[in-house]
């Protein structure tokens, strides 16, 4: 059995199409099909249901694709480990973040990239928590910055990074004079733009309103925090965002931010890596960089500065 055969098989399983898998692997379709057929003969099982085209994996194929992804990931990690010993950490770190952590990731990456200048980073920041953990489990991402969740499972190692608090962001004339905090029921009376309901932060926000038997129906929903800031800047809406966004896009001029209370919510954010096998050197290096940070202190200082200025 060759690694190339496993690569071809995983490509077919993911693309669900022989021609697209062959194009992805830079081989001809006959060569790809022949390699998979040889793999089936070596294992003495049928892995793919074939008709005129791909018709899905057999039960044996479904099981093998899980092992194949793990074998290929550990093979890549071993090659990266050898390179790291010889030349230092290099390669590409594939990082996924929930939308609300897309900016705070830069604080983690600044330390990481300074320590490992040969490394490159690819960031996916528009994915829900469930999808992030799925890609981490299937070795499509090296690390994830997200809320700890049941989807993480036991095969994931979590390093706490910070806790989100929630602030209301709106035009100054939407607040009572001198207000530094606002209750959730009062926030519900404002025209709101919020994240979409599949986002974990939106679910936390909805739960806070539910404590007061309130169901909010925002006029605008988006999967982008930057888009929420744009709605507020337009002047027609208020929004609720984690306080961790204030350091990069501080409230200024006619835009204000106040803390939400009753209840005061804290939602933990963690750095997650795959705990099966030795793991990739870039992921371990990122964890080491993250563990040296004190992000809670940084974000809390930003929030204190905001409230004391009003």
Q: How confident is the model at residue 118 (pLDDT cuts 50, 70, 90)?
A: confident
> CATH assignment of 3-71?
1.10.10.10
- Cα of 174 vs its chain's centroid, Å: 33
Q: Which fold has domain 72-162+268-308?
A: D-Maltodextrin-Binding Protein; domain 2 (3.40.190)
Query: Comparing 58-62, 253-257, 259-263, 289-293, which segment has the lowest mean pLDDT?
Result: 253-257
pLDDT of residue 306: 61
pLDDT of residue 188: 94
Helix (H, G, I), strand (E, B) or coil at 137: helix
pLDDT of residue 270: 94
Helix (H, G, I), strand (E, B) or coil at 61: helix
- Residue pLDDT, tens place only, 249-262: 655 567 888 899 99
How many Å apart are CA 302 and CA 241, to the nearest integer?
A: 14
Q: How confident is the model at residue 71 (pLDDT cuts 50, 70, 90)?
A: confident
Q: What mean pLDDT, rounded, does the chain reach?
A: 86
276 or 95: whose pLDDT is higher?
A: 95
pLDDT of residue 1: 59
Q: How confident is the model at residue 82 (pLDDT cuts 50, 70, 90)?
A: low
pLDDT of residue 32: 87
pLDDT of residue 265: 87
Which residue pairs, CB below 8 angstroms and at least 24 apart, start in 253-256? Answer: 254/171, 254/172, 254/173, 255/169, 255/170, 255/171, 255/172, 256/169, 256/170, 256/171, 256/172, 256/175, 256/310
Q: Pairing state of beta strands 267-274 and 156-164?
A: antiparallel
Q: What is the mean pLDDT of residues 166-191?
A: 89
Tell me the CATH architecture of domain 163-266: 3-Layer(aba) Sandwich (3.40)
Q: Where are the domains of the chain?
A: 3-71, 72-162+268-308, 163-266
Q: Which of 267, 250, 231, 239 is nearest to 307 (CA)?
A: 250
pLDDT of residue 88: 64
Judge if 3-71 and 163-266 fold alike in CATH terms. no
Q: Which two tokens stand for residue 29?
A: 């379709």
How many Å apart are CA 202 and CA 32, to the nearest integer?
A: 44
């Amino acid at each position: 059995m060759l690694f190339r055969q496993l690569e071809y098989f995983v490509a077919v399983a993911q693309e669900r199409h022989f021609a697209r898998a062959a194009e992805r692997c830079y081989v001809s379709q006959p060569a790809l099909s022949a390699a998979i057929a040889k793999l089936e003969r070596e294992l003495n099982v049928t892995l793919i249901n074939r008709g005129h085209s791909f018709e899905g994996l057999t039960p044996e194929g479904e099981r093998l694709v899980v092992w194949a992804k793990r074998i290929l990931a550990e093979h890549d990690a071993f090659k990266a480990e050898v390179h790291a010993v010889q030349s230092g950490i290099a390669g590409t770190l594939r990082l996924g973040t929930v939308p609300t952590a897309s900016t705070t990731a830069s604080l983690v990456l600044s330390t990481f990239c300074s320590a490992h200048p040969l490394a490159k980073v690819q960031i996916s920041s528009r994915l829900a928590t469930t999808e992030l953990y799925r890609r981490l489990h299937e070795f499509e991402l090296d690390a994830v910055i997200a809320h700890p969740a049941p989807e993480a499972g036991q095969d994931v190692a979590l390093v706490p990074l910070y806790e989100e608090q929630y602030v209301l962001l709106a035009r100054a004339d939407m607040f009572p004079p001198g207000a530094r905090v606002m209750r959730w029921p009062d926030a519900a009376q404002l025209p709101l733009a919020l994240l979409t309901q599949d986002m974990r932060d939106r679910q936390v926000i909805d739960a806070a309103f539910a404590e007061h038997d309130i169901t909010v129906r925002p006029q605008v929903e988006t999967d982008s925090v930057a888009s929420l800031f744009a709605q507020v800047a337009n002047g027609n809406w208020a929004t609720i965002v984690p306080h961790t966004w204030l350091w990069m896009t501080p409230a200024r001029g006619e835009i204000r931010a106040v803390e939400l209370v009753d209840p005061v919510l804290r939602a933990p954010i963690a750095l997650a890596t795959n705990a099966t096998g030795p793991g990739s050197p870039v992921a371990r290096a990122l964890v080491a960089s993250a563990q040296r940070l004190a992000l809670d202190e940084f974000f809390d200082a930003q929030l204190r500065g905001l409230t004391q200025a009003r």
